[in-house]
Amino acid sequence: MLEEIALAIKQLRAFGLTLLLAEQNHQFASSLADRFIALQGGEIVDAGDKAALESRERVAAAIMAH
């Protein structure tokens, strides 16, 4: 099901549409997103572009590995 949704999102983006995706599946969302906003308790706690998200993921993975 996620593959079908991802394909549909990619097709819509190919037409130049901007989409807002609210998703708890972090890996799925980050595979499609150019930018992100992280919410906690209804408040924005972080935001940025895909490069910022990827660098935060590396830091989080390094911390979790120790």
And the tokens for 52? 């910022």
pLDDT tens for the chain, 66 residues: list them.
Answer: 889 999 999 999 999 999 999 988 878 888 898 888 888 888 888 888 888 877 877 756 665 665
Domain range for 52: 2-65
Task: Assess contact for 48 and 34: CB atoms under 8 A.
Answer: no
- Report the alpha-carbon distance of residue 66 to residue 53 in Å, rounded: 20
Residue whose C-alpha is closest to residue 46's, from 26, 17, 16: 26
Q: pTM above 0.75? A: no
**How many structural domains does the chain have?**
1
